[in-house]
Amino acid sequence: MTAPAQARPTGGGGLAPAFAAVRARLGLVAVLFALAAGGWWWTARQMRGMDEGPWTGLGTLGWFLGIWVVMMAAMMFPSVAPTVALYSRTTRRRSPLSPLLFVLGYLVTWAGAGLVAFALITLVGRAAGDVLAWDRTGRWVAGATLLVAAGYELSPLKDVCLGRCRSPLGFLLGAWRDGHGGALRMGARHGAWCVGCCWALMASLFALGVMSVAWMAFVAGLIALEKTLPWRRVAVYGTAAVLLTLGVLLLAAPDAVPALTVPGAGQMDEMEPMGS
């Protein structure tokens, strides 16, 4: 139940111990980044031509869950790499398998978050039909989602969750569990803090187009900046400002949002020459 001596603080805090571990465990970090790169390639290939803008259809549960887990690996592995590297350094003499189980537990938590998102969107669709269609309430719900996400960025809960994500050493000391089962539980717990930190950004991804690689990369970039940028408040307030701007634009002038696929716009463009 207690952390090994290597993990005890020696005066440093925040991300400094984790980045030191990154330098010491470059091979593991390289593997995580390679997996992330493979995830980006596979996801881009699978989602080609599927972006229908806000509230894109999610397909079957099995297909969506497979895509979702690979998406999370692609988006989250770069920002979680310092924590995994630090954990690997503290367990290198005990079990080389523990870091892999830590990552697996992390992905299991995000898979659970994907199931919740799928269930919510499916229930809304069955209960209210095409209420999320762009020409009904879809545009307004998407804009409101971005505004709520901007507000959450400045909330106390976001601050607590982000603090856990930005302090790998503090997390490991507070959540340490021995053994392979402990590695799984620690990874799942770290994933839970990450979900608490990033759920609003993920909701924004659904509102902008969950099958869009461009928006996926955009949200992944915001997450990475929040978790690794030395100027924490700059990153958080900057993210809130970006989400607020996108929300207002989505409500007032969706055509002005770059890379946004406006549902039905392509069909209207095709019809105009026929009626002219």
pLDDT digits (tens, 9 = 90+) for 4-13: 544 444 334 5
Above 80 in pLDDT, residue 17?
no
Contacts of residue 11, defined as CB under 8 A and 6 or more positions apart, other chains included, come to: none
- CA dist 259 and 73 (Å) reads 23
**What confidence score (pLDDT) does residue 2 get?**
52
Phi and psi of 89, rounded to 5°? -65, -35
Which of 149, 261, 259, 267 is CA-nearest to residue 214?
A: 259
* Inter-residue contact 229 to 73 (CB < 8 Å): no
At residue 176, the 3 state secondary structure works out as coil
- CA dist 68 and 77 (Å) reads 14
Q: Which two tokens stand for residue 182?
A: 């402990």
Burial per residue of 225-254, b for 16 or more beta-carbon CB atoms within 10 angstroms, e otherwise? bbbbeeebeebbebbbebbbebbebbeeeb
* Inter-residue contact 54 to 161 (CB < 8 Å): no
Amino acid at 150: A
Mean pLDDT over all residues of the chain?
86
Which of 167, 46, 64 is CA-nearest to residue 111?
A: 64
55 Rama class: left (phi>0) / alpha (psi -120 to 50) / beta: left
**What confidence score (pLDDT) does residue 208 get?**
94
**What confidence score (pLDDT) does residue 4 get?**
53
* Inter-residue contact 206 to 117 (CB < 8 Å): yes
| Extended beta strands in 49-151, E state | none
Q: To which residue do tokens 């005066």 refer?
A: 11
The domain ranges of the chain are: 24-259
Q: Which of 22-36, 72-86, 104-118 has the lowest mean pLDDT?
A: 22-36
81-97, pLDDT tens digit by residue?
Answer: 989 988 888 887 667 78
* Inter-residue contact 135 to 144 (CB < 8 Å): no
**What confidence score (pLDDT) does residue 274 get?**
46
232-268, pLDDT tens digit by residue?
Answer: 899 999 999 999 999 999 999 998 998 898 887 654 4
Q: Which two tokens stand for residue 48?
A: 């080609």
Mean pLDDT computed over 190-194: 95
